[in-house]
Structure 1
Amino acid sequence: MSERVAKVEVFSITIPRDTPYLGALREGETVNERGYVVRKGNRTVYPVVDRTVVVRVETTGGAVGWGETYGIVAPGAAMAIIDDLLGPFVVGRDPRDVCVIHDDLYDLMRVRGYAGGFYCDALAAIDIALWDICGKLANLPLVKLLGGQRHERLPAYISGLPKATRAERADFAAQWQAQGFDSFKFAAPVADDGVVAEMETLRARLGPSARIACDMHWVHGGEEAVALIKAMEPHGLWFAEAPVKPEDLDGLSLVASRVATPIAAGEEWRTVYDLVPRVARRACAIIQPEMGHKGITEFMRIGLYAQAHHLKLIPHATIGIGLFLAASLHASSALAAVECHEYQHSIFEPNRRLLVGDMDCREGLYSLPTGAGLGVEPSKEALELLHKH
């Protein structure tokens, strides 16, 4: 077989939203002329639309693979990296050498800021598309190429409660609980009355058996994070996510050593090299790989390294149109240590029309998409929304 990559194309997709991610704007939060808002609670920028970067790879034999990465801010950056740099180095390669291609592309910039940001995001999209092709050429679902399917269905947790008041957020969580979901995560930057009050209200509304986690969004110092987590613990905190800034490895280690609650981290990491020093410090108990930042090759390396060190995996999941969510579900289903998977309902549900395939999340469980490769493809509507910069 002489199948080779013939073409790599990259597009952005923009999807309007009724309510910005994380809910309505708080006092002092304004949208600038580029459509961005900085959340005061975590000093992080978000667009007021959904936006993603999609890659289409086609082989000489006509096989097509789809990949996706983050496009929520400055999508043109990742697109330029793919168009100008990575894509041309993929053309002519055998797509079944997907891990080799990944490492070759990573090495291109090893001495120039290789380890994060837009470069690795761009690489992730290409990696996902090549794995999709591998599955299609083999006529197998992606999970079968990753060692086999260990989970028939994956438990999902409700991520984010985008309502205006604490009582409304608790009621909103209870609505999901009535639909069969028993695990929840609230976002500290929009817990307007403080995380302890938020936790107390959610526990009272959802009952003793619900799992409730707090995403602390990287804003605290170590000692402050310890105090907040300890104050939430009497209400049964499932895990505390991102308690300190990503750079603060000492702080993360401190928090993990001083609280009973499992500490979760890893959304923003790009490679297994981000995990290694944190494992050495026992700085977190739960690893949260995000497929859109990592791609399948690095996601699996992170997952296997975490498993070898007896850590749990609860993957993060920003959605886009769902291509890299499908990749995340396949990879997660191949990893024994995955015990739950994030469900970004406020993106998945309104945007599910943009995919063709049977990927779903119902009654607290994800259904893995069936079919070859990712098992999902952009819908006709999504194809009409593709935009080249």
Structure 2
Amino acid sequence: MKIERVDIYIYKLDQHYQLRGMTETPGLLPGTNYFFEPHWRQAYSRRVESCLVKVTTDTGLIGWGEAQAPILPETPASILKHLVGPFLIGRDPLERSVINDQLYHINNIRGHESGFTVDAIAAVDTALWDIAGRHHGVSIARLLGGPFRQELTAYVSGLRQPTLDDQAEAARGYVDEGFAGIKLFLGHGLPVDRKTVRRIRESVDPETRLFADCLWRYRMDEAIRLARELESLDYEFLEAPLAPEDLAGHRQLVQSLDLSIAVGEALRTAWEFGPWIHEPRALGIAQPDVVRCGITNTVKVSHLCEAHRIPVAPHVGVCTGVGMAATWQVAAAIPNFLIQEYQLQLLERANTILSTPLEVHGGKLIVPDRPGIGVDVDKSALATVTDETITVTGG
């Protein structure tokens, strides 16, 4: 079996993915859909953007993967078109570990050991795992030796209602639906954040698991003050409190607190995670993201964490049903799984490109027990949200 074709889809869905109830788009960059939310430094898009890949073999087997690209999906698409795709043509898709290793070393010495390059590799890595599962007739969770679980405990990521009263009401509703917990997006300044975390804790049952994400917004002293508040309110973890490059600061924070510090969405390989995991630790919970790491690297990171008794809570950001399905498969197969991030506002639209949609019952994410990633893509539906399609063949 050989790879004979790689199709790349630049995905752009007309849906404004709101972080915290913001409907306006201030700071819009001229001629683009990219803007800045009032409280955060990173850019966002008025549309849901991503990069999908379909790998086709000479036997007719196909596999789907995704490179997360909430902005600039054209960048991983270009890497796939000009480098990764041509590399794959004629290769045996079942040699996924060899391919992943060789692709990583194509350009890592030039400073491309992370970022868009690894995102592109992650997409084809997932597609190759999908092919392997379909070839063997089993889900990726089973291909990985699982599943440890067939449904995932999940938390709703973000309260996106416009007012705090609305958010408190929504939180109660999500708990009533059966979700285990809720994660709040903070970083609005300590007075506002303190008011928010107190109000949401008061609005739900004491048993409800609560988490907080600062989106890398605070200084060390601010993060410690906020974390002390979260500890008193029995929050379970504080995510991304400091700048993503601040390894030393996160180490100091971990040593200063009882509250777990969660980190991972900006990291992509076991080499990047290693310094955060080895003593002195800079995280208490690891959050690898399959659509940035790929399945191979996510599993490596999970094994590294298991060896250090660190739980894994897989990250899920802006992505399609392909990325979600792949994430759920991996989460089902790792022994040190803690809880799964769930993007409630994205799932309905994410399912529109799937002919076999993902399911959520009673707040639990149901892991498909079908071959590969467990879902099939509706190509007609995908065409309606594809800005550009690129094909790589051996011709």
Distance 1:162 1:370 in 2: 32
Matches within 5 A, 1:193-232: 194-232=192-230
- SS for the counterpart of 2:49 is strand
Q: Is the 8 A contact 1:286 1:312 kept in 2?
A: yes
Aligned to 2:304: 305
Equivalent AA in structure 1 for residue 95 of structure 2: D
8 Å contact from structure 1 (residues 195, 232) kept in 2: no
Cα deviation digits, residues 40-84 of structure 1 (max 9, x gap): 322011101111111010001111111111132111110000000
Is the 1:21–1:48 contact (alpha carbons within 8 Å) kept by the matching residues of 2? no
Structure 2: how far apart are the matches of 1:107 and 1:145? 26
Q: Secondary structure at the match of 1:313?
A: coil
Which one of the candidate residues 73, 76, 80 is aligned to 2:74? Answer: 76
C-alpha distance in structure 1 between counterparts of 2:154 and 2:82, whole Å: 38
Unaligned runs of 5+ in 1: none
Judging changes above 3 Å, is the alpha-carbon distance between structure 1 residues 191 and 353 closer, same or farther for their aligned structure 2 residues? farther
1:242 aligns with 2:257: no
Moved over 4 A (4+): 25-32, 190-193
What TM-score does the superposition give when structure 1 sets the normalisation length? 0.95
Q: Distance in 2 between matches of 1:18 and 1:320?
A: 13
Alpha-carbon shift at residue 201 of structure 1 (Å): 0.3
Q: Give, in whole Å, the separation in 2 of the partners of 1:19 and 1:10.
A: 23
Paired residue type of 2:237: F
Aligned length: 387
Report what 2:331 is aligned to. 332
Residue aligning to 1:140: 138
Distance 1:6 1:307 in 2: 37
CA RMSD, 1 decimal: 1.8
Query: 1:231, CA displacement in angstroms?
Result: 2.2
**Is the Cα contact below 8 Å between 1:10 and 1:83 reproduced in 2?**
yes
Give yes or no for contact 2:20–2:162 (8 Å, CA) kept in 1. Answer: no
Equivalent in the alignment of 2:251: 253
In structure 2, how many angstroms separate the alpha carbons of the residues matched to 1:12 and 1:189?
Answer: 31
Question: Structure 1 pair 337/287, CA: closer, same or farther in 2 (3 Å)?
Answer: same
Q: How many angstroms does 1:319 deviate by? A: 4.6
What is the aligned partner in structure 2 of residue 64 from structure 1? 62
CA distance in 1 between partners of 2:140 and 2:254 (Å): 35
Letter in 1 for 2:389: K
C-alpha displacement of 1:96 = 0.4
What pairs with 1:105-124 in structure 2 (closer than 5 Å)?
Answer: 105-124=103-122
Deviation (angstroms), 1:356: 2.1
Shift of 1:278: 1.0
Q: Any idea what the Cα deviations from partners look like across 1:181-238, whole Å, max 9, x if unmatched? A: 1300010146896221111000111121111111011122222211111123222211
Q: Distance in 2 between matches of 1:27 and 1:95?
A: 43
Cα 1:136/1:19, change in 2 over 3 Å: closer
Higher relative contact order (CA 8 A, sep 6+): 2
SS at match of 2:389: coil
Could you tell me how far apart the structure 2 residues matched to 1:36 and 1:225 are? Answer: 28
Which of 263, 276, 279 aligns to 1:278? It is: 276
String of CA shifts for 1:215-269, please: whole Å, max 9, x gaps: 0111222222111111232222111001111110110011111111111000110
CA distance in 1, matches of 2:225, 2:53: 44
Task: Say whether the 8 Å CA contact 2:146–2:333 is kept in structure 1.
Answer: yes
Once the two structures are overlaid, the 10-residue window that deviates more, 226-235 or 252-261, is: 226-235
Quote the Cα distance in structure 1 between the aligned partners of 2:383 and 2:164. Answer: 39
Other structure's SS at 1:58 match: strand
Deviations 1:260-293 (A, max 9, x none): 1111000110101111111122111110111111
| Comparing 29-38 and 362-371, the one that deviates more | 29-38
The residue that corresponds to 1:155 in the other structure is 153
Q: Assess if the C-alpha contact under 8 Å between 1:166 and 1:192 holds in 2.
A: no
**Separation in 2, partners of 1:116, 1:251:** 21
**Partner amino acid, structure 2, of 1:388:** T
- The one-letter code of the counterpart of 1:120 is V
Cα distance in 1, alignment partners of residues 358 and 341 from structure 2:
14
In the alignment, the residues of structure 2 paired with residue 135 and residue 275 of structure 1 have an alpha-carbon distance, to the nearest angstrom, of 27
The percentage of counterpart residues that share the same residue type is 28
TM-score by length of 2: 0.94
- The aligned residue for residue 5 of structure 1 is 3
Letter in 2 for 1:310: R
SS at match of 1:220: coil
CA distance in 1 between counterparts of 2:8 and 2:251 reads 39
Code of the residue aligned with 1:173 in structure 2: it is: A
Q: Is the 8 A contact 1:223 1:255 kept in 2?
A: no
The answer for the alignment partner of 1:385 in structure 2 is: 385
Aligned partner of residue 244 in structure 1, secondary structure: coil
Deviation at 1:108, TM superposition (A): 0.3
The 3 A distance-change label for structure 1 pair 28 and 71 is closer
**Whole-angstrom distance in 1 between the partners of 2:194 and 2:235:** 10
1:55–1:129 contact (8 Å) kept in structure 2: yes
1:44 corresponds to 2:45: no
C-alpha spacing 1:19/1:60, structure 2 compared with 1 (3 Å): closer
Residues 188 and 214, structure 1, Cα contact 8 Å, conserved in 2: yes
